[in-house]
Chains A and B, each alone.
Chain A
């Protein structure tokens, strides 16, 4: 009886621990990818092509630093 319960516990533990691990990994991957997409979109917005640039040097940053700081 006790031995049976050990195997029953092991079977359920493998399943639920595996699922939890997979969910944690998936969540971390989703967050990392969302952050990467946001970072790349911001960089793309900063990079202005010569035709798009209203003033200034081609390839220069379009973002203006706020007064009194970076």
Chain B
């Protein structure tokens, strides 16, 4: 655990040197890959290219919410409030990318399914994920960021809310859905041409780097918020003394 914290601290120290250029490169590769390099899909046509941002957005949202899950466990374990700031930062980014997943899916679904939205198990369970972590963020923003009890309740909620992600993943197998079955990796290897898989991997790296940068920025804002509260309390005590 201490090794992990040490590595994370080292990465955090060079965040302004390494992350922005890497993010720029990743984003450029994603756009070029999705719009130029990837072949035209024969059945769905050009609109299928939305897949190269839809799928990475979904996986990135799961990744960010996994960070919330881990940070919440670490908060309960160590009682170090910095984990709460990281959990809130990752939850904000997770909610953003869940919203992107739903929005891009709706836009892609309109020409293919004929509707923007249907109460399909995959779509509904993803909407529930958005509402769960949106509620978590709302509750945490209403409480004082230095309130340890509110942080602990939030952490317990975030850990239980994470159980929705396996449900989303299995929803296309458990229920009959309009959403397709897993296309990227099926039971007998990739179900897509290799050049599409390559663009998808580039998209995953690009969007993943982007989300990492956003989490770092947001964590910095959350930590500054905590510091502001602490300074206000000190000032109040001094004035009151």
Contact = CB atoms under 8 A, between A and B. Distances in A.
Interface in B110-164: 110-111
Nearest to B96: A22
Interface stretch (B7-15, B66-74, B76-84, B231-239): B231-239
A30 B225 contact: no
B225 A33 contact: yes
B184 interface: no
Contacts of A7: 47, 50, 107-108, 110-111
B104 interface: yes
Is chain B's interface secondary structure helix, strand, loop, or mixed overall? helix
Interface stretch (B165-173, B190-198, B215-223): B215-223
A47 B238 contact: yes
Contacts of B47: 4, 7-8, 11
B218 A4 contact: no
Interface in A3-21: 3-5, 7-8, 10-12, 14-15, 18-19
A27 B217 CA distance: 8
Nearest to B54: A11
B88 interface: no
A30 B50 CA distance: 32
A22 B214 contact: yes
Contact of B103 (A3, A5, A14, A47): A14
Interface of A: 1, 3-5, 7-8, 10-12, 14-15, 18-19, 22-23, 26-27, 29-30, 33-34, 36-37, 40-41, 43-44, 47, 49-50, 59
Given A7-B107, A15-B57, A37-B231, 9 more contacts: A7-B47, A11-B47, A11-B50, A11-B53, A14-B104, A14-B107, A15-B103, A27-B217, A44-B231
Interface of B: 45-47, 49-50, 53-54, 57, 96, 99-100, 103-104, 107-108, 110-111, 210, 214, 217-218, 220-221, 224-225, 227-228, 231-232, 234-235, 238-239, 241
